Amino acid sequence: MRRRAKEDVLVIGGDHRLDLLPPEVRAERRGRQQRRRLTLGVVGVAAVVALLVASASALSYTAQVNLASEQDRTATLLTEQGQYFAVRALQNQVTLTEAAQRVGASTEIDWKTYLDAVQNTLPRSVAIATVQVDSATPLVAYTQATAPLQGSRVATVSFTATSNVLPDIPAWLTALGTLDGFADALPGSVTLDQTTGTYTVTITMHINDTAFAHRFDPIEKK
């Protein structure tokens, strides 16, 4: 009863509206509004897609430009390297030659200097008459002693020495032991020439690898 009373209230001075349009017209208006909204949505989506495509195209173009630049740079570097091909070939040849020198001279002994040192260990009355040398090579290992208590060797020097006095062979061997590369020494025969009164002594000396000259070894930088 109270609800009906509220609905029956008469409002004085209110805004009276009367819609006389057919329902079809109102439906057409609503349809146009929806179509406008859809059109705006499609235009917005198209704009976003166009922006993304433009951004992707710009990135692709930049990447292509950078790639072309790097390719040009690589081609330039290759061209410049080709100019130094002869220099590189010469450097390789020098390196190969130096390596061959080191290998070829790896068993080298400066015999002139070494035999002078041998002579200097002997008394002044003693002179070396003949020398025979047998040394290692870079390609063949030197034959080692089979007897026990004998050190390794890389060369053998057999020499004969002459003296006007009876030689003190133990003193000679002791003096030879002061040489670099000395491994051991074995005395041989001692003969006397009755005509000249000269003694001839044969000695066989073995030399180890500390006598190598190392002429082509690389110089260590300090």
Average pLDDT score, the chain = 81
| Cross-strand bridge partners of residue 116 | none
Residues in the chain: 222
Provide the percentage of residues in the chain whose pLDDT is more than 90: 27
How many C-alpha atoms does 101 have within 13 Å on its Cβ side?
12
CA distances from 184 to 45, 126, 173, 203 (A): 100, 20, 9, 11
Q: What is the pLDDT of residue 71?
A: 84
The token pair at 195 is 């005509």
Choose among 145, 116, 144, 120: nearest CA to 131: 116
Residue 181: closest CA among 201, 204, 148, 205? 205
Question: Is residue 2 over pLDDT 50?
Answer: no
Report in angstroms the alpha-carbon separations of 155 from 25, 103, 133, 159, 179.
123, 17, 7, 13, 14
Q: Is the pTM of this model over 0.95?
A: no
Residue 123: burial class (beta carbons within 10 Å; 0-12, 13-18, 19+)? middle
pLDDT digits (tens, 9 = 90+) for 103-126: 777 788 999 999 999 999 988 888
